[in-house]
Chain A
Amino acid sequence: MRLSTAFRYEQSISNLQQRQQELSTAQMQLTSGKRVNAASDDPTAAARAERALASMARSDADLRAVQASRNAMTLAESGLGNAIDLMQTARETVVAAGNGAYSQNERNALTAKLREIRKQMVSVANLPDGGGGYVFGGKGSTSAPFSDDTTLTPPEVVFNGSPGQVLAASTEEINLTMNGEAIWMNITRDLGNGTTETFSAFDALDSAIADLESGSNPSGAVTTGLARMDRVLGQFQTARSQAGEMLNRLDGIESRLADGKLAAQNEKSNAEDLDMVRAISEFQNKQTGYEAALQSYASIQKMSLFQYIS
């Protein structure tokens, strides 16, 4: 076949340009480290990388929920620890008040101590979570969930929140608050005659103070007071172990989230990252090809009949 001289030059130029462009694409991939720089480089991989990225962002968000829950549960756990200590001190005080040799004055000194403990109990129950809420606020409460209802005589502590608990945003059920009403207010005691009484942790102290101050039956007051306080302690311990259990679970959830994020990172990298060894070898191939094209151009353009017929 005849070859048109102009077309031949045209073709060599366009081939050179194409090789140059391939070389530049390979270079861009090498410098960016990414195989997929635009969706059209590999639409499926681009979509996979997009999903993996969303999954990574989500793990980060879930982790913040876990951290908030851990913060709240750590506070709850230590708050309940304080409450147990306080109740323990109160119990010891009531035991001391049972001393038959004590006069009413001496017993009154002990009830003063019990009142102090009650005050501290209320502030432990109103433990804030650091973000405007309350650890024992139940389903949420903007003001202190426990307060003295002074319209009653004697004043009683009432629960102002709504019963239940606030959950954190997570696929697993994790708490941001504890059910304050269940822990502090609804304590039951079997009276042994087929009936049960329900009282609050504060009632247990209030009634012990009242009974001891009336002086009519100190030993009976001590017995009843201790029985109620033991129930309160039992309740606190159960709640405290719930909080501890929650903290354990949070550790598990956190490590699962970290694993999930790592898996998503791997997925993203598999989808869009460059296989460096292969890329470098391809780059060198293209470089060699370009050099060969340049050399052949340089030698062919010298070949013309006009070179020989001067």
Chain B
Amino acid sequence: MGSGIYSLGTGAMNAARAMLDTTAHNISNVNTPGYSRQRVELATEDGLYTGAGFFGRGVRLTTVSRATNEALSKEANLNTAASASDATRLSKLEQLEKALPLGEAGLGYSATQLLNTFVDVSNQPLDMSARQVVLARAQEWVSRVHTADQQLNQLQNGVVTDLTLNVEQINSLTSNIAGINQSIAALKGSGHAPNDLLDRRDKMISDLNKLVQVNAVEADDGSLSLFMGGGQLLVLSNTAQTLSVVRDLNNSALGRVALQTPNPADPSQPFNRILDSSQITGGAIQGLLSFQDMDLAATRQDLQDFVSGFATAVDTQQSAGLSAPGVAGAPIFGGGPYTPTDITVTLTDPAGLAASGTPFSASDNANARAMLDLRDDAIISLNNLPPSTLTDAYSQMIGNMGVLVQTGRTAASISSTLETNSAQMLSAESGVNLDEEASRLIQFQQSYQAAAKVLQVAQTVFDTLLNISR
């Protein structure tokens, strides 16, 4: 009977100390990302049967558990992936918007001004300085086209660089997750959940979702298998697949995400199987790919249509006129099919401008006036739509771009709100609240003091017994 109170007191002290330890652990990790607060699970020992009934035998520590919620954490991961995708696309869109400047710095204004300078040629067709101004404006327009084109190229290169960095991070995360899977499976036999390891794995999966959306399926041994949104396996138990970034087969400027598969013939040269875009349903990688394939491609097409439409119209009008009696105007622009990359000003002699519309006189201005009429002609067809005028076409490009950025911004704001909400829900479940821990600290301290008091009482009782026998 006497030893009962000792072991009861010792058990109570152990329990209180374990709870104090756990509280300290919670307080220590209040700022640790991905940490789930832990608590000691207690149970009463089974009672001791005596003739007088069952006597309680104190408290027992069953395990340490972590506060988590699988459904909430899945939802948080999905929302993280969507938000990362939208935010990545938006940041690229905001850079893209700068490639098509507004107003006087814009391509549209520069093209309009090129046509407007023909008014001076038309006023004084023989004045070489007026013609020189036309050529200078043409050169200026072409250099603005090149600037826009280079900005688009830089953005494209940026997409590939970012893809590569993200894929490296994915590979490192998946291989770490595979490693943790192995450790967790090995600890399975202990019968207790390795909370901090599980937290670390969950954090890595959450980080992975920022890069690419994955679904997790738990196996019996506690390991998690990860699948990309479209079903492609990334991690199975303790092995991880390797992703890589390769160039698009049809357009070497574009980047694609591929899955490495071993090459039996030459292990140093693995095969790269390009993943279909339907595999990638969220995360920064999806944002980058959809920016590359939709937003950047559409802007590139608009720029191409604008440049070739305008240059074709000007050169067609130039060839309809005469630069000298009997000599049709030679093209002002060169560079093959007038691509934004290759277009140049080939006409260098101002006398080569075909201002005249009649073979009888070099001082006629009919063709210079026809050039000015191009301002009102529907000469530019964007994206195979019915042609519109120069100014309308550029306004339309700017409008399209603005709408793209605006919708990108709205999407990013919605998905970021969703992400915050689900993160808040999850953190309400698993996060540490310092006020709570402070009050637990007092609570467990008092339990500890009470348990110590039990031991003190036990000692006093024992001493009393000893004194009797003396």
Chain A contacts to B: CB under 8 angstroms: 1-7, 11, 36, 38-44, 46-51, 53-55, 57-58, 60-62, 64-65, 68, 129, 131-133, 137, 139-142, 161-162, 166-169, 176, 304-306, 309
Can you list 23 A-B pairs, Cβ within 8 angstroms, ordered by A? Answer: A2-B431, A4-B430, A4-B431, A5-B30, A38-B97, A38-B405, A39-B102, A39-B399, A43-B406, A46-B399, A47-B396, A47-B402, A49-B103, A50-B395, A57-B109, A57-B116, A58-B375, A64-B120, A132-B124, A133-B124, A140-B356, A305-B439, A309-B441
In the bound complex, residues from chain A placing their C-beta under 8 Å from that of B104 are 53
For residue B187, CB closer than 8 A to chain A, the reply is no
Interface stretch (choices B58-66, B259-267, B365-373): B365-373
In the assembly, what is the distance between CA of A44 and CA of B403, in Å? 9
Say yes or no: is B126 at the interface (Cβ < 8 Å to chain A): yes
Instruction: Tell me if B361 and A51 are in contact (CB < 8 A).
Output: no
Query: A-facing mask of B82-123, CB < 8 A → 1, else 0?
Result: 000000000000100110101110101100110011111011
Interface band, chain B = 35 or more
Known: A68-B123, A133-B363, A139-B360. A4 touches B428 (CB 8 A): yes
Q: Which residue of B lies closest to A72 (CB)?
A: B123
- Per CB-CB distance, the 3 closest pairs between chain A and chain B, nearest first, are A4-B431, A43-B402, A39-B402
Most B C-beta atoms less than 10 A away, residue of A47, A60, A142, A167: A47
User: Contacts A2-B436, A40-B401: A132 and B428 contacting too (C-beta < 8 A)?
Assistant: no
Q: Which residues of A contact B103 (CB under 8 A)?
A: 49-50, 53
- Selected from A3, A40, A64, the residue in CB contact (under 8 A) with B402 is A40
Total A-B contacts with CB atoms under 8 angstroms apart: 188
The answer to whether B361 touches A139, judged by C-beta atoms less than 8 angstroms apart, is yes
Which of B106, B127, B402, B406 has the most C-beta atoms of chain A within 10 angstroms of its own C-beta? B402
In the complex, which residues 350-379 of chain B have their Cβ closer than 8 Å to any Cβ of chain A? 356, 358, 360-365, 368-369, 372, 375
Q: Tell me the complex Cα distance, A11–B425, Å.
A: 13
* Interface residue? B344 (CB, 8 A): no
Contact B402 A61 (CB under 8 A): no
The CA-CA distance from A164 to B409 in the complex, in Å, is 60
- Check A49 against B102 for contact (C-beta < 8 Å): yes
| One of B30, B94, B365 near A169 (C-beta < 8 A) | B365
> How many angstroms from the CA of A69 to the CA of B155 in the assembled complex?
49
User: B308: CB under 8 A from chain A?
Assistant: no
A2 CB → nearest B CB, Å: 5
Q: How far is the CA of A58 from the CA of B376 in the complex (A)?
A: 11
CB contacts (< 8 Å) of B409 on chain A: these are: 40
Question: Quick check: B424 and A7 within 8 Å, CB to CB?
Answer: yes
Q: Which residue of chain A is the closest to B376 with respect to CB atoms?
A: A171
How far in angstroms is the closest Cβ of chain B from A178? 14
Q: Within 8 Å CB of A139, what residues of B?
A: 358, 360-361, 364
**Contacts A4-B428, A6-B31, A133-B126; A305 near B362 (Cβ below 8 A):** no
Given known A-B contacts A6-B30, A132-B126, A51 and B428 have beta carbons under 8 A apart: no
Cβ-closest chain A residue relative to B394: A50
Answer yes or no: B427 CB below 8 A from chain A CBs.
yes
Bound CA–CA A51/B31 (angstroms): 54
Residues of A contacting B301 with CB < 8 Å? none
* B122 in complex: contacting residue of A60, A142, A169, CB < 8 Å: A169
